[in-house]
Structure 1
Amino acid sequence: MRALVIGASGQIGGHLRAQLLARGDAVVGTYATVEQPGLVPLDLDQADAVAGLIADAAPDVVFLPAGWTWVDGNEDDRARSFRQNCEQPLFVCQQAAQVGAVFVTYSTDYVFDGAAGPYAEDDAPAPLNVYGEAKLAAEQALLASGAECLILRTTTVYGPETQGKNFVYQLVRRLRAGQPFQIPSDQVATPSYGPDVAAATLALLDQGARGVWHVAGPDVLDRAAFARVACEVFDLDFDAIDVKTTAELAQKAARPLLAGLKTDKLRAAGISVRGVRAGLEAMRAAIEAGDAAAP
Structure 2
Amino acid sequence: MSMEIVGRGFLAVNLRPIADRHPETVALAAGVSWAAGTSDADFAREADLLEEVAARCVATGRRLLFFSTAATGMYGAVDGPGREDSPITPATPYGAHKLALEQRLRASGADHLILRLGHLVGPGQPPHQLIPALVRQMRAGSVRIQREAARDLIDVADVIAVIDRLLSQDLHGETVNVASGAAVPVEHIVDHLERRLGLEVHRDYEDAGAHHVISIEKLNALVPETAAMGFGPDYHRRVLDAFIASTAATSAR
Closer, same or farther in 2 for the Cα pair 1:120/1:61, shift >3 Å?
same
Matched, 1:267 2:230: no
Whole-Å Cα distance in 2 between the matches of residues 135 and 196 of structure 1? 23
Whole-Å Cα distance in 2 between the matches of residues 189 and 117 of structure 1? 15
Corresponding residue to 1:244 among 193, 200, 206: 206
Matched, 1:208 2:207: no
Shift of 1:175: 1.8
SS at match of 1:2: coil
**Which stretches in structure 2 are left out of the alignment for 5+ residues?**
none
SS at match of 1:97: helix
Whole-Å Cα distance in 2 between the matches of residues 12 and 92 of structure 1? 17
Corresponding residue to 1:119 among 82, 85, 110: 82
Structure 1 segments, 4+ long, off by >4 Å, are 162-165
Whole-Å Cα distance in 1 between the matches of residues 214 and 46 of structure 2? 20
Query: Following superposition of structure 1 onto structure 2, how do residues 97-108 of structure 1 map, counting pairs within 5 Å?
Result: 97-108=58-69
Shift of 1:123: 0.5
SS at match of 2:214: coil
SS at match of 2:3: strand
Shift of 1:81: 4.4
Shift of 1:263: 0.6
Query: Following superposition of structure 1 onto structure 2, how do residues 58-97 of structure 1 map, counting pairs within 5 Å?
Result: 60-74=24-38, 77-78=39-40, 80-97=41-58
Matched, 1:133 2:96: yes
Partner of 1:43: none
Whole-Å Cα distance in 2 between the matches of residues 103 and 263 of structure 1? 22
Stretch of structure 1 that moved more, 126-135 or 220-229? 220-229
Q: Which amino acid aligns with 2:44?
A: R
Shift of 1:82: 3.4
Aligned residues: 242
SS at match of 2:57: helix
Shift of 1:11: 2.1
Matched, 1:182 2:144: yes
Partner of 1:32: none
Matched, 1:12 2:11: yes
1:218-275 per-residue CA deviation (whole Å, 9 max, x = no partner) reads: 32112222222233333333x42323222xxxxxxxx6x2334211111112142542
Identity of aligned pairs, percent?
28
Shift of 1:277: 0.9
Matched, 1:280 2:240: yes
1:154-180 per-residue CA deviation (whole Å, 9 max, x = no partner) reads: 1222222264443211222222233x3
1:163-210 per-residue CA deviation (whole Å, 9 max, x = no partner) reads: 4443211222222233x3312121233222222112211110012223
Shift of 1:117: 4.4
Closer, same or farther in 2 for the Cα pair 1:199/1:279, shift >3 Å?
same
Stretch of structure 1 that moved more, 160-169 or 150-159? 160-169
Stretch of structure 1 that moved more, 190-199 or 122-131? 190-199
SS at match of 1:175: helix
Closer, same or farther in 2 for the Cα pair 1:271/1:214, shift >3 Å?
farther
Partner of 1:170: 133
1:121-180 per-residue CA deviation (whole Å, 9 max, x = no partner) reads: 1111111222111110111111222311111001222222264443211222222233x3
Whole-Å Cα distance in 2 between the matches of residues 227 and 114 of structure 1? 25
Shift of 1:115: 4.7
Shift of 1:108: 1.1
Normalized against structure 1, the TM-score is what? 0.73
